[in-house]
């Protein structure tokens, strides 16, 4: 018994006959809905910038010049005598996605061999433990603790949690790869939809005249998230080698889509495969175009339409303080509307890709997206708020859809054996896009303002640049071809990898057993979906309240 597998080992989570595969997506959602709060961390910046209360406790000095700014920023890491600047706090957001991409790339191979349960538990410990360390940092007013806690340790948890279900879901749903990954990655987009209003409510509850309530909020959210993430991790199961859904027969290799391989590539080879870099560029261009817009959605709407958002024929610069507050409320509703399309697009487009094919779906993204961006300056010039908003809603749906579709794209081209690890390496494209997209949008805006161009026109050139980026993505996507046989593992290499991954080769079909040790009562599946569906429905409800302000 000394060599029996531990509770976290992959051998312990291989499902036997009778297991219901529809229990796996809610397990993935439980983790993704928690780590998706990374998108909503900006809700803490303003309160944290006022964390120290009392006479003379102003914001830390920013410093003059480049080196002065660097030294002042470093001083904020350990100071207890002044309040942090919002720009300094924003570095935590940047670190989230830098460490998400790097940790997914570094430990993706380990995940494939150790299994999703162990990765999910490590993710929960890192993400929630990082929030607890950040809470201590808020209490002691030590920014370096927040950077280490949420930025670094939490970022590692993000990366492992994000890719933990990818390979497993694709193997459980060989007939619906896009839909399966779309469900999980939809959860990551929905995390902020739940977490942001929850954090606001908690901060209001814990706030006192001398405390902004962030520390207590971090602690409560970390504990709640830990329960959900551990439940998700222990809900993961992996299928036996050769398992397939009842009644589904894989199409013969010679008749199947040539873009869907029946073979498998080892993760160690992908850096040298041209198709990997083409798909890397496909994701990078799609995300760059969308992520730049997300960060500037609110000011863009306000500057382009100005007073017309509240029925006043005046430009942005002509509005008084109360009018500016009114259009900011409308713009917040616009941002909430975009988040709904971002979430919905993840499931819609990924599911549609099962019909259109992954390459065809990305062609739609780039062609339709390019047309939408190209139409924006005309919509703005015509004063058509409906066309302007409609274009960005479609764009954001395809931004989310790109994230959700790419794991299935990778499985089609590189096989399913190590798709989670390959997906982890591809996420470096996300980290790149997280810098490239905002830089293009923000710096082009500043450049245009410097030329004296009116605020309502400063985004026109930016839209055309984003069209160019989508054209680059379209060309890369069109160049993707099936892999040459030299890149695939031989039968002997595949067998060795399966052994390292602790796979059990015993094919079975769902429903073929009248009841094994893994059969569950019928009511368990709807309960599992209810556990993740209710928080998501609450988040959608709170978001719709914000959207209502836009339509009002």
DSSP codes, 487-550: GBPPHHHHHHHHHHTT--B---BTT-SS--TT---TTHHHHHHHHHHHHHHHHHHHHHHHHHHH
What is the rounded distance in angstroms from the CA atom of residue 336 to the CA atom of residue 545?
Answer: 9
Tell me how long the chain is. 552
Residues 6+ apart with CB under 8 A from 190: 32, 33, 36, 343, 536, 539, 540
Q: Provide the pLDDT for residue 438.
A: 78
User: Which residues of the chain fall short of a pLDDT of 50?
Assistant: 1-2, 64-67, 254-256, 506-516
Residues 6+ apart with CB under 8 A from 358: 178, 259, 405, 406, 408, 409, 412
What is the rounded distance in angstroms from the CA atom of residue 354 to the CA atom of residue 530?
Answer: 26
- Cβ distance 203 to 212 under 8 Å? yes
End-to-end Cα distance, the chain: 67
Q: How many CA atoms lie less than 13 Å away from 98 in the CB half-sphere?
A: 12
Q: Provide the pLDDT for residue 56.
A: 55
What is the rounded distance in angstroms from the CA atom of residue 434 to the CA atom of residue 101?
Answer: 11
Measured between alpha carbons, how far is residue 280 from residues 91, 287, 407, 468 in Å? Answer: 25, 11, 12, 17
As given in the structure block, the two tokens for residue 481 are 């071809």
Nearest to 233 by CA among 128, 151, 147: 128
CB atoms within 10 A of CB 320: 9
CA 222 to centroid of chain Cα atoms: 19
Nearest to 289 by CA among 488, 163, 155, 463: 463
Residues 6+ apart with CB under 8 A from 117: 8, 10, 12, 13, 233, 234, 236
Q: Provide the pLDDT for residue 505.
A: 59
What is the rounded distance in angstroms from the CA atom of residue 43 to the CA atom of residue 203?
Answer: 10
Q: Provide the pLDDT for residue 27.
A: 96
Q: Provide the pLDDT for residue 71.
A: 60
Q: Provide the pLDDT for residue 394.
A: 95
Measured between alpha carbons, how far is residue 377 from residues 381, 467, 534, 540 in Å? Answer: 6, 12, 40, 30
Q: How many CA atoms lie less than 13 Å away from 215 in the CB half-sphere?
A: 18
Measured between alpha carbons, how far is residue 457 from residues 182, 312, 328, 437, 549 in Å? Answer: 36, 19, 19, 19, 25
The three-class DSSP label of residue 238 is: strand
The three-class DSSP label of residue 241 is: strand
Question: Phi, psi (5° rounding) for residue 53?
Answer: -110, 145
Q: Which residues of 54-73 are buried (b: 16+ CB within 10 A; e: fewer)?
A: eeeeeebeebeeeeeeeebb
Q: How many Å is the maximal CA-CA distance in the chain? A: 79
- Cβ distance 309 to 323 under 8 Å? no
Nearest to 272 by CA among 110, 430, 432, 487: 487
What is the rounded distance in angstroms from the CA atom of residue 164 to the CA atom of residue 161?
Answer: 5
What is the rounded distance in angstroms from the CA atom of residue 490 to the CA atom of residue 263?
Answer: 9
Q: What is the pTM of this model?
A: 0.88
Q: Provide the pLDDT for residue 326.
A: 87
Q: Provide the pLDDT for residue 1.
A: 40
Is the domain 7-52+84-245+505-552 a CATH 1.20.1250.20 member?
yes
Residue range(s) occupied by CATH 1.20.1250.20 in the chain: 7-52+84-245+505-552, 257-483
| Residue ranges in 5-85 assigned as alpha helix (H) | 24-35, 45-48, 65-75
What is the rounded distance in angstroms from the CA atom of residue 488 to the CA atom of residue 483?
Answer: 8
Exposure of 331 by Cβ count < 10 A (0-12 exposed, 13-18 middle, 19+ buried)? buried
As given in the structure block, the two tokens for residue 96 are 């989230």
- Cβ distance 289 to 432 under 8 Å? no
Is the domain 257-483 a CATH 1.10.1740.10 member?
no
As given in the structure block, the two tokens for residue 451 are 């030329």
Partners of 244 in beta bridges: 509
As given in the structure block, the two tokens for residue 338 are 């975009």
What is the rounded distance in angstroms from the CA atom of residue 501 to the CA atom of residue 523?
Answer: 32
What is the rounded distance in angstroms from the CA atom of residue 434 to the CA atom of residue 449?
Answer: 23
CA 56 to centroid of chain Cα atoms: 40
């Amino acid at each position: 018994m000394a060599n029996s597998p531990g509770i976290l080992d992959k051998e312990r989570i291989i499902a036997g006959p009778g297991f219901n595969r529809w229990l796996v997506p809610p397990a993935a959602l439980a983790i993704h809905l928690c780590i998706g709060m990374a998108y909503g961390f900006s809700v803490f910046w303003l309160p944290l910038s006022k964390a120290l209360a009392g006479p003379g406790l102003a914001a830390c000095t920013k410093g003059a010049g480049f080196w002065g700014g660097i030294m002042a920023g470093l001083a904020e890491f350990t100071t207890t005598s002044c309040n942090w600047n919002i720009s300094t706090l924003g570095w935590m957001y940047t670190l989230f996605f830098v460490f998400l991409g790097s940790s997914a790339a570094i430990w993706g191979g380990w995940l494939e061999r150790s299994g999703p349960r162990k990765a999910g538990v490590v993710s929960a410990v890192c993400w929630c433990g990082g929030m607890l360390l950040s809470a201590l940092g808020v209490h002691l007013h030590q920014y370096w603790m927040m950077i280490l806690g949420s930025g670094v340790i939490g970022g590692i948890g993000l990366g492992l949690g994000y890719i933990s279900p990818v390979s497993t879901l694709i193997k459980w749903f060989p007939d619906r790869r896009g839909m399966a990954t779309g469900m999980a990655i939809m959860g990551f987009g929905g995390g902020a939809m739940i977490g942001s209003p929850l954090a606001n409510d908690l901060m209001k509850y814990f706030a006192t005249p001398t405390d902004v309530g962030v520390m207590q909020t971090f602690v409560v959210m970390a504990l709640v998230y830990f329960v959900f993430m551990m439940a998700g991790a222990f809900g993961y199961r992996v299928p036996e080698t050769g398992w397939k859904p009842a009644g589904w027969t894989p199409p013969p290799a010679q008749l199947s889509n040539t873009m869907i391989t029946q073979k498998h590539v080892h993760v160690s080879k992908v850096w040298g495969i041209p198709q990997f870099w083409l798909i890397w560029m496909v994701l990078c261009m799609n995300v760059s175009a969308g992520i730049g817009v997300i960060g500037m959605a609110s000011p863009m709407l306000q500057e382009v339409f100005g007073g017309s958002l509240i029925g006043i024929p005046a430009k942005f610069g002509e509005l008084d303080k109360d009018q500016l507050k009114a259009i900011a409320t409308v713009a917040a509703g616009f941002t909430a509307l975009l988040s709904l399309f971002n979430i919905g697009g993840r499931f819609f487009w990924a599911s549609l890709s099962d019909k259109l094919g992954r390459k065809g779906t990305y062609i739609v993204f780039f062609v339709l997206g390019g047309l939408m961006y190209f139409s924006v300056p005309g919509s703005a010039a015509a004063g058509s708020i409906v066309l302007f908003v409609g274009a960005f809603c479609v764009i954001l749906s395809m931004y989310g859809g790109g994230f959700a579709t790419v794991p299935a794209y990778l499985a089609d081209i590189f096989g399913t054996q190590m798709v989670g690890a390959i997906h982890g390496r591809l996420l470096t494209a996300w980290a790149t896009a997280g810098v490239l997209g905002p830089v293009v949008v923000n710096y082009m805006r500043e450049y245009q303002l410097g030329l004296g161009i009116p605020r309502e026109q400063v985004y026109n050139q930016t839209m055309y640049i984003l069209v160019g980026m989508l054209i680059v993505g379209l060309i890369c996507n069109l160049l993707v071809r099936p892999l040459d046989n030299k890149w695939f593992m031989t039968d002997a290499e595949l067998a060795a990898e399966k052994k390292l991954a602790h796979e059990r080769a015993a094919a079975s079909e769902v429903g073929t057993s009248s009841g094994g040790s893994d059969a569950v009562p019928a009511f368990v599946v709807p309960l599992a979906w209810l556990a993740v569906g209710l928080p998501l429905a609450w988040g959608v409800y709170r978001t719709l309240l914000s959207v209502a302000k836009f339509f009002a």
